[in-house]
């Protein structure tokens, strides 16, 4: 009996052991299937993430952000808000009763998207300062995909005239552009369209051409007449590598007009040394020429063991319509103001010496004569109708720049501004102060941060 019981127990135990083993095997099979399904789902999820990452990387490669900020402290030898403006061409006129100030001169943020497949480019740049928010650039650029030498640009962008107008403020060594450039091209930009020829290969790589059609008003102002202004520049560059010299330059032209909303038009008679008035009724609504010609050149020589030295210069002349008291770029809009026609000339010459990679020394001299047909000693004479808008200015600047690193730059710059002295017998209240040089020199200490470098 005992043997039979042992045999029965052994059979039962073996039976349940087999069942348990089969159940365990089935469990293992189910677990392995679940793990496979999970792994497959995980791989699919990783693939989706990688695809998303690739799209983001493609976007990041095409989308570029850049910008810079310029903060500064300025002090003048005069006080703002008096009988004459101080600092108008040094970042804006000093406020009333102010002889020193802090400023956020520029706060730029630029977004640029480039599509390699269509050779197209989108650019938007804004400027944020203590005075508010403004648009600097807003344009589309399309390059031809065949010979890759032609570009079409439309929107708000730099006028294609000379060198200084398009030279970026974060690269420029002087705090501001010359008085000539600020007067002829306030804000630098304009609304319009431009064709550019800039070949990358072949015999014409050292030459470029820019030709644009613009509203001819102000950088972001709406058109106010049915005329358009034409601006163009032919440029060249000759690198003389064996001599460590590079020579760049160009010839520019501006052909435009300004509408006179008044019937009064004043033209300067050189022989009479006075403005002559034409009050014909049909003058109202008539357009008068705004026409410039210019030449610019930049020479760079690399001095061994010291650093590069560069000489830059630009000379412009032509006719500039304005008002009785101002020779600045005139946008009549809805005002009914007599128009004054003046012939002008202006130029600047700058010398920049690099000392190593950290230091730069700078000298610059610029001149603007808004009425080249009269001398200072005749301005203010009774009967000439001459005003502050006819005064010639010479500005001498001396500066030192220190590059802390690729992002940070310090600028120390002093401007000695000299005005033309007027007729000593003038009784014109606005001109009496200009019988001698007024106190409007300005010192600027600026810190700039830019990204990327």
Mean local confidence (pLDDT), 446-450: 98
What dihedral angle (degrees, nearest 10) is formed by the CA atoms of 183, 250, 397, 82? Answer: 0
Distance between CA atoms of residues 161 and 412, nearest Å: 28
Q: Tokens 């009549």 — which residue?
A: 332
Determine how many CB atoms are found less than 10 A away from the CB of residue 22.
10
Percent of the chain predicted with pLDDT > 70: 88
Is the confidence at residue 309, as pLDDT, over 90? yes
Mean pLDDT of the chain: 89
What is the mean pLDDT of the segment spanning 438-451? 97
Over residues 353-390, the pLDDT tens digits come to 999 999 999 999 999 999 999 999 999 999 899 999 99
The mean per-residue pLDDT over the stretch 47-75 comes to 83
Q: CB-based burial of residue 128 (10 Å sphere; 0-12 exposed, 13-18 middle, 19+ buried)? A: middle
d(CA 341, CA 351) in angstroms, rounded, equals 34
- Please state, in angstroms and rounded to a whole number, the distance separating the CA atoms of residues 287 and 253: 19
CA distance 227 to 281: 21
Query: Interior CA angle at 162 toward 134 and 289, to 5°?
Result: 85
Which pLDDT value is given to residue 2?
47
Q: What percent of the chain has pLDDT over 90?
A: 71
> Using the 8-state DSSP alphabet, how is residue 99 labeled?
S
pLDDT value, residue 30: 54
CB-neighbour burial class of residue 415 (10 A; exposed 0-12, middle 13-18, buried 19+): buried
Q: List 398's β-bridge partners, or say none.
A: 363, 414
- Separation in Å, CA 123 to CA 142, 163, 177, 330: 11, 21, 23, 28
Give phi and psi for 39, each to the nearest 5.
-65, -40
What is the domain partition of the chain in residue ranges? Answer: 2-451
190-215 pLDDT, tens digit each? 999 999 999 988 888 999 999 999 99
102 with 94: CB under 8 angstroms?
A: no
| Cis amide leading into 452 (omega within 30) | yes
CA dist 100 and 87 (Å) reads 10
User: Higher confidence at residue 222 or residue 264?
Assistant: 264
pLDDT at 300 over 70: yes
Q: At 271, is the pLDDT very low, low, confident or very high (cuts 50, 70, 90)?
A: confident
Q: Which CATH class is domain 2-451?
A: mainly beta
Report whether pLDDT(269) > 80: yes
Indicate the pLDDT class of residue 226, thresholds 50, 70 and 90. confident
Compare 417 and 272 and report the one with higher pLDDT: 417
Cα 36–chain centre separation: 60
149-163 mean pLDDT: 96
Neighbours of 11 (CB within 10 A): 10
Query: What are the structure tokens assigned to 239, written together?
Result: 């690198």
Helix (H, G, I), strand (E, B) or coil at 148: coil
Per residue in 5-37, pLDDT tens? 454 444 444 444 544 555 555 554 557 767 666
pLDDT of residue 241: 79
pLDDT tens column, 117-132: 678 999 999 999 999 9
According to the model, what pLDDT value does residue 16 have?
45
C-alpha–C-alpha distance, residues 232 and 243, integer Å: 31
Determine the average pLDDT of the residues in 283-309: 93
pLDDT band at 4 (very low <50, low <70, confident <90, very high): very low
Q: Is 144 helix (H, G, I), strand (E, B) or coil?
A: coil
pLDDT at 41: 67
d(CA 66, CA 112): 8
- Is 288 within 8 Å of 346 (Cβ atoms)? no
* pLDDT average, residue stretch 235-254: 92
- pTM listed for this prediction: 0.86
Residue 192 three-state SS: strand
* Bridge partners, residue 125, by sequence: 110, 137
Mention every residue, 6+ apart, whose C-beta is less than 8 A from residue 184.
161, 254, 292, 316, 320, 329, 346
Which pLDDT score is estimated for 26? Answer: 52
Residue 185: CB atoms within 10 A of its CB come to 24
Q: Indicate if the pLDDT at residue 78 is higher than 80.
A: yes
Tens-digit pLDDT profile for residues 162-173? 999 999 999 999
3-state secondary structure of 184: helix
The SS3 call for residue 299 is strand
Q: What's the pLDDT at 313?
A: 97
Q: What local confidence, expressed as pLDDT, does residue 19 receive?
A: 47
**pLDDT for 270 beyond 90:** no
């Amino acid at each position: 009996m005992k043997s039979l019981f042992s045999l029965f127990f052994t059979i039962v135990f073996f039976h349940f052991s087999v069942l348990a083993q089969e159940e365990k095997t089935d469990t293992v099979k189910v677990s392995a299937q679940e793990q496979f399904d999970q792994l497959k789902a995980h791989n699919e999820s990783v693939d989706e993430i990688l695809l998303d990452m690739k799209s983001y990387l493609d976007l990041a490669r095409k989308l570029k952000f850049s910008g810079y900020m310029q903060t500064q402290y300025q002090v003048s030898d005069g006080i703002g808000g008096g009988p004459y403006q101080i600092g108008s061409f040094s970042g804006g006129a000093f406020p009333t009763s102010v002889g020193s100030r802090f400023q956020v001169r520029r706060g730029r943020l630029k977004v640029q998207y480039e599509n390699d497949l269509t050779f197209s480019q989108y650019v938007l740049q804004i400027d944020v300062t203590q005075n508010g928010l403004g648009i600097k650039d807003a344009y589309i650029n399309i390059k031809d995909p065949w010979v890759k030498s032609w570009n079409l640009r439309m929107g708000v962008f730099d006028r294609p005239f000379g060198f200084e107008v398009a030279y970026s403020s974060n690269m420029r060594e002087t705090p501001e552009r010359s008085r000539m450039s600020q007067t002829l091209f306030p804000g630098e930009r304009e609304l319009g369209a431009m064709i550019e020829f800039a070949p990358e290969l072949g015999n014409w790589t050292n030459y470029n051409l820019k030709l644009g059609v613009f509203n001819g008003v102000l950088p972001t102002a709406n058109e106010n007449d049915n005329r358009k202004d034409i601006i163009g520049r032919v440029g060249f560059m000759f690198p003389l590598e064996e001599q460590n010299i590079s020579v760049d330059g160009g010839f520019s032209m501006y052909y435009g007009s300004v509408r006179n909303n008044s019937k009064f038009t004043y033209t300067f008679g050189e022989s009479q040394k006075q403005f002559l008035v034409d009050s014909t009724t049909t003058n109202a609504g008539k357009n008068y020429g705004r026409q410039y010609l210019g030449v610019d050149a930049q020479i760079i020589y690399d001095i061994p063991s010291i650093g590069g030295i560069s000489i830059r210069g630009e000379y412009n002349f032509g006719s500039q319509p304005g008002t009785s008291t101002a020779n600045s770029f005139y946008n009549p809009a809805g005002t009914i103001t007599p128009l004054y026609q003046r012939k002008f000339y202006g130029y600047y010459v700058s010398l920049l010496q690099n000392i190593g990679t950290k230091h730069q020394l700078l000298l610059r001299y610029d001149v603007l004569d808004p009425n080249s047909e009269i001398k200072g000693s005749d301005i203010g004479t009774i009967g000439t109708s001459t005003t502050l808008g006819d005064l010639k200015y010479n500005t001498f600047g001396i500066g030192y720049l220190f590059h802390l690193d690729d992002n940070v730059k310090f600028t120390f710059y002093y401007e000695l501004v000299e005005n033309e002295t007027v007729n000593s017998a003038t009784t014109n209240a606005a001109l009496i102060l200009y019988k001698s040089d007024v106190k409007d020199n300005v010192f600027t200490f600026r810190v700039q941060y830019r990204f990327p470098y």
